[in-house]
Amino acid sequence: MNVFLMLTVIVASIVLSGAVQPLGAGYNSRCMCLKLESRIIPPDNLRRVEILPRGPHCKTTEVIAGLSTGEKICLNPRTPWVPKSTVASIILKWKTFGTTRTLSRAGRPAKLSYRGRRALVREVKKNPKITVAELQRCSREMGESCSKSTITAAIHQSGLYGRVARRKPLLSARHMKAHLKDSKMVINKILWSDETKI
């Protein structure tokens, strides 16, 4: 009896000191979200959304949002501002890939950023006679060095193309004779007179 009383006192002192939380009906030590937020978060501020489905570790589905500031918050999955299509697409991504993280895309990343491309287009519109070599120098100054063909392709995607003026062809001997013949006829038709009135 003494041992049972001693164990009861030890457990009671641990619970009262707060070292171990009491196990209750709603308590689970493995749930990540202890406080849910229902505030509206603009999509631009979201960097990553993770959905942890309910299971033996936690009785509720947990939605953890990673913000652009680096902060992680737990969202209430039943908030009205979250579109059902967004939740459905995230669940589909989880079922397909086993993760909700943004996966790397296929193909090589672009050498020019959107901002660099806009700057090149602005340069071309400001000075239409600028050469590709000068544009390459400009992009290198912006910190995005790339080849001439990349710059040309970027400008073409923006709807700008280089045009060369058509050269005026030289007159052939046949054209010169015809021109001379016409000019002689015109000269013969001119009335040369020293009189002021006719």
Residue 54 lies in a domain: yes
pLDDT tens for residues 37-61?
877 777 677 777 777 777 787 887 7
pLDDT value of position 27 = 45
The domain boundary, picked from 103, 138, 168, lies at 103
CATH label of the domain that carries residue 80: 2.40.50.40
Instruction: Supply the range of the domain harboring residue 130.
Output: 114-157
Same domain, 90 and 121: no
Same domain, 143 and 90: no
Same domain, 98 and 119: no
pLDDT tens for residues 96-127?
887 777 777 788 888 899 999 999 999 999 99
Residues of the chain with pLDDT under 50: 1-28
Same domain, 149 and 130: yes
Same domain, 58 and 120: no
CB 151 within 8 A of CB 136: yes
Same domain, 85 and 150: no
pLDDT value of position 147 = 92
Residue 121 lies in a domain: yes
Residue 12 lies in a domain: no
CB crowding 49-88: b at 16 or more within 10 Å, else e: bbbbeeeeebebebbbbbeeeeeeebbeeeeeebeeeeee
Same domain, 44 and 96: yes
Same domain, 96 and 150: no
pLDDT value of position 191 = 58
CB 50 within 8 A of CB 66: yes
Residue 181 lies in a domain: no
pLDDT value of position 28 = 45
Number of independent structural domains in the chain? 2
